[in-house]
Amino acid sequence: MDPLRIPMILPSAVVHYSCRLLGVRLDDPNIVLAFSIYEAVLLGVSAFLWCRSVPLLEISPRGKALGLLALFGNYGLLKHAVYYPILADVTGFSLGMLFIYSYLTRKTWLLYVATLTSCFSWPTGLTTGAFMILFPRSQAEGTTSRVNRHFFHVVIAIVLAVYIVDRARLLVRDGFQIPSGTAQPIATFLTLSYLTCFAYVSAAVASLLNWDELFRVQNLLRRLRAPGFYLGLAFLAITARLPSFIPHSNASLDGQGLIDIFVVESIAKPGVFLLAHIIYFGPILLLAIFLWGAVCRLVHDHGIGLTLSLTFAAISAVDSESRHLLGYFPLLAPFVVKATDNLNWDLAACTVFAGCSLLLSKVWLTINPLPNDRLFLDFPWQRYFMSLGPWMSGRAYLAQTAGVVGCGLLLLPFVRRVDNTVQRVKA
């Protein structure tokens, strides 16, 4: 069995045995329909979890609606998941919603359930579960003092950025080719691509780690004295090994090979991973960029486990295939919504955001029919692949960059206008 399929076998198993239980013939149309129903149920549960999380974050009714639009009105769920329902993407997203809800409500047993489920449906959920189980919300909650005497966070961020960029440089030098018909790095713009990747990793990670609670030895010692810490370690060790017990799963997964692919994809074009993520997840990521400092402070308010989870997600975001990040998106989006909610947006701002969401979601774009030539970097195949970073052609890159920049320019005045008002009130 393909080792890449084993960690995502659960959604297929649910659909397969549900069809057999109901006596439904397992042909292609019925399988696609069954996956669509399965994902519709998961999205309904995810919407319910969002509504239950809103009071915990003290988000207004306006923010609640904005969050529903941000979480569900994007290309990833509104277009791609509907067009290609047999993937495990919606399962990964729903597990992310379950993780953040369980963490906010301190329901440790739900964190265990989500982590165990991730083992056979969305493997990156194991990292989220590990951080949240080992460092539950109660740790340092509500303490937002920042690192201002030491620069450990800057050193760590720079070391990570240098490693990623240097690894990409060495792979490109040795002639590494990204597989699966993807766009290869453009030699002319490699320096700019390296600088963009370095700037993103160092800035994003440094801001997330800029919190003194992360570097207090007392916090680690306190967790080491807690029995739950060792119970969590034992659970995680067993859970990580479970897929190996599936028959025919003896083929090894080349983790380093996957990392190399992601690293080189990140520098194929300058900032292609950021562009791909904004296209895939919508304008909520533009707001995350504009309000990154405020978002990080809100994340710090909710503890070490969430902070470490999002730090790992930020590093993983150099992977330009945005669908791999669907499990992390629900961890970030609520805090971007909360930061935006604090700006007290009016109807005009919300309308502009909704318009940008509609534009980037491409729900208006017809993808089919597609030819059999499998020339993914040319149209009409680009109608599908231009929204997936590794397969984004040069023309699609330029056109979508213009669209994203336009959306950013439309949203920026609403962020700056309120910020200026707050500053005048404080003065």
Can you tell me which residue has the tokens 């805090």? Answer: 335
Residue ranges per domain, the chain?
6-426
- One DSSP character per residue, 344-360 reads ---HHHHHHHHHHHHHH
pTM over 0.85: yes
* Residue 198 neighbours by CB under 8 Å, 6+ apart: 161, 162, 164, 165
Rounded alpha-carbon distances, angstroms, from residue 184 to 20, 173, 194, 199: 43, 13, 14, 21
pLDDT confidence of residue 391: 96
d(CA 308, CA 316): 12
Residue 422 has pLDDT above 50, yes or no: no
Mean pLDDT calculated for residue range 182-201: 95
State the first-to-last Cα distance of the chain, in angstroms, to the nearest integer.
65
Could you report the per-residue pLDDT of 130-146, keeping only the tens digit for each? 999 999 987 445 555 56
- pLDDT higher than 50, residue 419: no
Q: Which of 331, 347, 344 is nearest to 415 (CA)?
A: 344
Mean pLDDT of 100-116: 96
* Average pLDDT of span 241-269: 78
Q: How far is the C-alpha of 240 from the C-alpha of 198, rounded, in Å?
A: 31
The counts of H helices and E strands in the chain are 20, 0
Q: Report residue 135 as tokens.
A: 């460092």
pLDDT digits (tens, 9 = 90+) for 288-315: 999 999 999 999 999 999 999 999 999 9
Instruction: Report pLDDT digits (tens) over 270-289.
Output: 999 999 999 999 999 999 99
Residues 229-233 have a mean pLDDT of 95
Task: Supply the pLDDT for residue 245.
Answer: 74
Residue 171 has pLDDT above 90, yes or no: yes
- At 255 the pLDDT is 73
